[in-house]
Amino acid sequence: MKPTKFHPFTKTALCIALSGGLLAAAPLARADAISDLKAQIDALQKKVEEMSAKQAAPAAAAPAGAVTGGDIPGSFKLPGSNTSIKFGGYIKADAIYNSRSVGGTADQELEAPGIPLGSGAKGERGQLTAHARQTRFNMTTSTPSAMGEVKTFFEADFFSGGTSGNEVVSNSNGLRMRHGYGSIGGLLVGQTWSNFMDVGAGPEVLDFGGPVGAIFVRQTQIKYTQKFGSGQWSASLENPESNISGVGPVGDDRLPDVTGRVDLNVGKSRLTFTGMVRQIRIDTAAASDNKWGGAVGFSGVIPTFGKDSFAFTTNYGNTLGRYVVGLFPDGALKANGNLDLSNTWIAMASYQHFWSADLRSTVALSGTRTKFGQGVGGGQTRNAESAHLNLIWSPVKNTNVGIEYIYGHRTQRDGQVGVLNRFQTSAQYVF
């Protein structure tokens, strides 16, 4: 069969017809594509508007009786309350070996008589004890108000002198209050650390009491704190208690201890200046007198390399007395029955080094000296020194295990000397 032949004119007509059909179809195809794209855009826009509406809508109210999250980290609110409540604390177990028997103070700070005198009688060398008395529990609350945050804090541990058991049977220990105060704005009322004490400059040690000669006191007070450009200042009126040599706490005080403090931020460092004025008073059938005195302090924390830091404290005055834990009286009675105050200075320095993110060590050195007035007995501690060296490991978050060596030395006014070497291991679980 021979192929069909078309006249040139016919070929041209066919090409024109075909091209025309294609040209006519092209606009229709583009119109369909544009229509589909517009529909997709409209659908997407609708979804965006729906999502925006959901985000703008107020959150659904919590069911009646539900416990909700609080306004401070780790806290919660009870049903029908706007108060945020947070619980915290830790479990801490210690094992302590003393080179000398120190009796009932084996698990506490190196205070007199925690550093025994002399070379030790037969049978008085070496003492091991284990306890969990430092375990503590605390509660923090925060409530908004028209005057600012209303905050309360309570904390207790088991270092109370009273117990309901002993190491022979149950190892029970009495609960005692450490802190119990409330604050609103810059005003604080209740029991907490003295405003004269710089807690932040203290070293991280396993020993519960820490270095000898440190300022260490918690007491009821009224304190006001005000921030300014590079720090803050605070002043307080605190519970007075005169401790007279040979007499003890007399309870005859009339006026509060007055303290003042300034905290300054200098770069990454913090420096603190403190001052205190006290009246030491006795009013008994045997003696009636009072003396005014004061003390000053300078302390700070200075970052060095990486996470390492250096910390120090130094204090001087004639009313440090009971503020220097377990060592000195506030005053003594002279032969004529009048009070006489003693001049005391204390100093402490520590350095913390991080071997790695979870392994660190602290070395802390401290010393104290006093120049006694008249009336102080020969059995009173005249000076004391201590050294702490530890290694603390945090294998996981909120867990610390460590070992520490502690050296203590003290000299009485009558010349007797006491020396103690202590090894302590601890495990702490923070919650």
Q: Which amino acid is at 13?
A: A
Q: Are 232 and 270 in contact (CB under 8 A)?
A: no
Looking at residue 324, what DSSP letter applies?
B
Q: Are 368 and 345 in contact (CB under 8 A)?
A: yes
Distance in angstroms (rounded) separating the CA atoms of residues 345 and 63:
61
pLDDT at 380: 84
**Most confident range, picked from 12-26, 34-48, 409-423:** 409-423
Distance in angstroms (rounded) separating the CA atoms of residues 279 and 292:
4
**Closest among 335, 313, 52, 30 to 199, alpha carbons compared:** 313
Distance in angstroms (rounded) separating the CA atoms of residues 81 and 76:
10
State the pLDDT confidence band at 179, using cuts at 50, 70 and 90: very high
pLDDT tens for 241-292 read 999 988 888 888 999 999 999 999 999 999 999 999 999 999 988 889 999 9
pLDDT at 402: 98
State the pLDDT confidence band at 110, using cuts at 50, 70 and 90: low
**Closest among 282, 290, 341 to 317, alpha carbons compared:** 341
Q: Are 284 and 265 in contact (CB under 8 A)?
A: no
Where along the chain do its domains lie?
68-430
Distance in angstroms (rounded) separating the CA atoms of residues 217 and 197:
8
**Closest among 172, 141, 146, 140 to 159, alpha carbons compared:** 172
pLDDT at 230: 94
Alpha carbon distances (Å) from 302 to 231, 297, 356:
15, 17, 19
Where is pLDDT greater, at 48 or 301? 301
pTM, 2 dp: 0.82
CB atoms near residue 67 (< 10 Å): 12
Q: Are 139 and 85 in contact (CB under 8 A)?
A: yes
Q: What is the mean pLDDT of the chain?
A: 86
What percent of the chain is predicted at pLDDT more than 70?
84
| 68-430 belongs to CATH 2.60.40.1180 | no
Pick from 26-40, 64-78, 89-103, 394-408: least confident: 26-40
Q: Are 422 and 390 in contact (CB under 8 A)?
A: no
State the pLDDT confidence band at 22, using cuts at 50, 70 and 90: very low
Provide CB contacts within 8 A for 303, sequence distance 6+: 268, 269, 309
State the pLDDT confidence band at 18, using cuts at 50, 70 and 90: very low
Distance in angstroms (rounded) separating the CA atoms of residues 222 and 205:
30
State the pLDDT confidence band at 166, using cuts at 50, 70 and 90: confident
Average pLDDT over residues 309-326: 93
Q: Are 291 and 331 in contact (CB under 8 A)?
A: yes
pLDDT at 103: 65
pLDDT at 14: 41
Residue 51 exposed, middle or buried by CB count within 10 Å (0-12, 13-18, 19+): exposed
Q: Are 362 and 390 in contact (CB under 8 A)?
A: yes
Provide CB contacts within 8 A for 42, sequence distance 6+: none
Residue 114 exposed, middle or buried by CB count within 10 Å (0-12, 13-18, 19+): buried
**Closest among 365, 325, 116 to 213, alpha carbons compared:** 325
Pick from 71-80, 142-151, 244-253, 265-274: least confident: 244-253
